[in-house]
Every structure is written in C-alpha cells, then in structure tokens.
Amino acid sequence: MHISKVLLAAGAATLLSTAAFAGTLDDVRAKGFVQCGVSQGLPGFSNPDEQGNWTGIDVDVCRAVAAAIFGDSEAVKYSPLSAKERFTALQSGEIDVLSRNTTWTLVRDTSLGLNFAGVNYYDGQGFMVRKDLGITNALELDGASVCVNIGTTTELNLSDYFRANSISFEPVVFEKADEVVAAYDSGRCDVYTTDQSGLAAQRIKLSDPDAHVILPEIISKEPLGPVVSHGDDAWLDVVKWSLYAMIEAEELGVTSGNVDQMRDTSPNPGVKRLLGTEGDLGKNLGLPGDWAYNIVKQVGNYGESYERYVGLNTSLKLERGLNALWKDGGLQYPMPVR
C-alpha cells in the first residue's frame, strides 16, 4: 500500500474508533438520560418500589452521574440485569454504566473489556444458615448444600474456600437472586452465600429473618463499584469523579442540607473548588461548573447516601466499617478534587 494510503487508513481508523468509543458523554447528552444497569432488586443497593422508582446506594451513583451532566438526578433510565447478563449489556452498549453490586476483579477489568470507576462499597463474602442447625463457623459446613447465584464471584470464592479447607459442598445454582433466596427459604439448601451486604439485604425477604444467622467468616474481598466499557476514558472520568465528588463532599462536611450555605459562605478553597465557585474543574470533565454542587444538592454526599439506604437506621443495619472515610479509619479515600 502506498504510504499516503496507509496514513489515510490509519487516520480513518482513529476517527472511527474515536466515533465509536470516545463519545459516550456526547451520546448521553444527546439522548437526554443515563442508561444505568442495576440489579433486579437488592434492597439498599438498587431496588424498585411498587411505582418502579429505583433507590439505593448503587442507584445514587447513577443519579450522581445524571446530576453532574444534566443538573437533573432524575435523568436516568434503569436496566434491571441478572449477574449473568450485566457485562454483556455494558459491552454491547445497551447501558452506559453498570452500578450493580459488582466486584472489581482482574479478569473483569481486562478480558471482559471493562473499567471500574471506583469502589462505592467495600464488601466481603459470607454465609447464612438457619439458626436451628446450631452451626457457629463456616468450617462446620462440610458436606453442606449451598445456594448461590451463577455468574458471580460468589460462585468462585465458594469453591476456593471449600477446596482450601479440604471440605466438600454441593452447589445449588440459580440465575435470578430471588430464586436463590426462595430456594434457601424453602430449605432446598443448607446455606446461602453472597456478599455480606447482600446477605443483610436478602435476609429481609425471608419468611422469618430472625431464624437465620450470618456466620462470622468473611471469605473474600468484594470491592463493589460502578463499571464502564473500555475505550472511552472521558466517560470513565465522568463516572469516577461523580463518585469521588460524593465522598469528597462528605470529607469536607458538605451535605444536601448545607450545600447552598457552604457555597455562599465557606472560606475553604476545597469547598469552593468542589462547588464551582472557584476555578473551573467541571470543564476538565466536559461538565458544567456546578456539576458537583448538583450532585450534593440532589443526591447528597456519600455518608448521607450510605445512611439513607444501608446504614444502622435501615433494615440492612450495616456499620460504616471499611466504608468509613479514610480519616475515620476506613477505606473511602477520594482522590484530590483539584
């Protein structure tokens, strides 16, 4: 091929790839909403009410992204997805972002062509059993039947844990989480395993939640966070910094209740930068100057979202634990917003 043709072809390929992979923010703006992949119903994380309104800490990430782009946290459409379906939906472009209690792993981050935009809940896998079995730790589970969701890290960790401890189990697998819960509730298996937060959430759905106990062992790391497709760094940045803005707001003491007052009166340069009264951070993200103001005003900071949906005053009753801010001894550490 003549050199100019090669260059032309290369140029066209770059243009094509730019058009195909670098335009999610523009596409989202053009259609007027963020298409967000969520669970099929996991209280505290992503759960629909009878009117089909979605709530939860994962939903708040979708809402934060919409608030950042449109100044309207309601500009989101939700796609309920099973664990098995979720990555294909992202790869095919059916959704713009997946915010569905999804664990960041090497294989997902590489071979599946995905990028994790951060961690909105640090979790770990646990086991639940009926109290009347009298089991107090997981090593007593030799020979047990275990209900589990397919297409999850849960399945993989389960097998690792039993192998590592030279004990056996019989998997009872389902695609839909509600099938797993129903099977466990009806006694088709001895054990239900998933992320600890998932156990706390699904327990509410059991016919007698108090008849069950969550064992003390945490057998894995499950850093859960929002995910986008490979190939669009600008979009990754928008999702990543929308989440960081929520955590940064908590660190700075900015809440949905005081955000107006803080914007107008705080002398703190960090607050001014975050809320857009000093500098122009939004521009770097292709967003309006009040991108983070709108997130905090309409969605709240990370701590508010946590307490509203999964904290001690909710039916999940989850302590902040690893999800406390770094300055309170936890792992939530927003990268510097500057």
Question: Would you tell me which residues interact with ligand GSH (CB under 6 A)?
Answer: 39-42, 82-83, 101-103, 149, 152-154, 177, 194-195, 198, 202, 222, 224
Structure tokens at 214: 């969550």
Q: Which is nearer to ligand GSH, 47 or 301 (CB)?
A: 47
Query: Cα(120)–Cα(226) distance, rounded to whole angstroms?
Result: 8
Q: Which is nearer to ligand GSH, 27 or 178 (CB)?
A: 178
Q: Which is nearer to ligand GSH, 34 or 119 (CB)?
A: 119
Residues with Cβ within 8 Å of residue 223, at least 6 apart in sequence: 103, 104, 119, 121, 122, 123
Q: Which is nearer to ligand GSH, 173 or 337 (CB)?
A: 173
Q: From the CB of 263, what's the least distance to ligand GSH, in Å?
A: 36
Q: From the CB of 80, what's the least distance to ligand GSH, in Å?
A: 7
Q: Which is nearer to ligand GSH, 55 or 294 (CB)?
A: 55
Burial of 338 (0-12, 13-18, 19+ CB in 10 A): exposed
Q: Helices 302-309 and 233-252: crossing angle, nearest 10°?
A: 80
Q: From the CB of 23, what's the least distance to ligand GSH, in Å?
A: 28
Sequence-ordered alpha helix ranges (H) in 22-56: 24-31
Q: From the CB of 74, what's the least distance to ligand GSH, in Å?
A: 22
Q: From the CB of 152, what's the least distance to ligand GSH, in Å?
A: 3
Q: From the CB of 133, what's the least distance to ligand GSH, in Å?
A: 21
Query: Cα(146)–Cα(135) distance, rounded to whole angstroms?
Result: 14
DSSP 40: S
Q: Which is nearer to ligand GSH, 153 or 266 (CB)?
A: 153
Q: From the CB of 190, what's the least distance to ligand GSH, in Å?
A: 17
Q: From the CB of 114, what's the least distance to ligand GSH, in Å?
A: 11
Q: Which is nearer to ligand GSH, 122 or 244 (CB)?
A: 122
The sign of the CA dihedral 327, 222, 191, 143 is: negative
Structure tokens at 300: 């709240």
Torsion angle of the four alpha carbons 302, 304, 309, 313, in this order, in degrees rounded to the nearest 10: 130
Q: Which is nearer to ligand GSH, 114 or 281 (CB)?
A: 114
**Contact assessment for residue 204 and residue 172, using Cβ atoms and an 8 Å cutoff:** no
Query: Cα(25)–Cα(285) distance, rounded to whole angstroms?
Result: 10
The amino acid that residue 131 corresponds to is K
**Contact assessment for residue 308 and residue 314, using Cβ atoms and an 8 Å cutoff:** yes
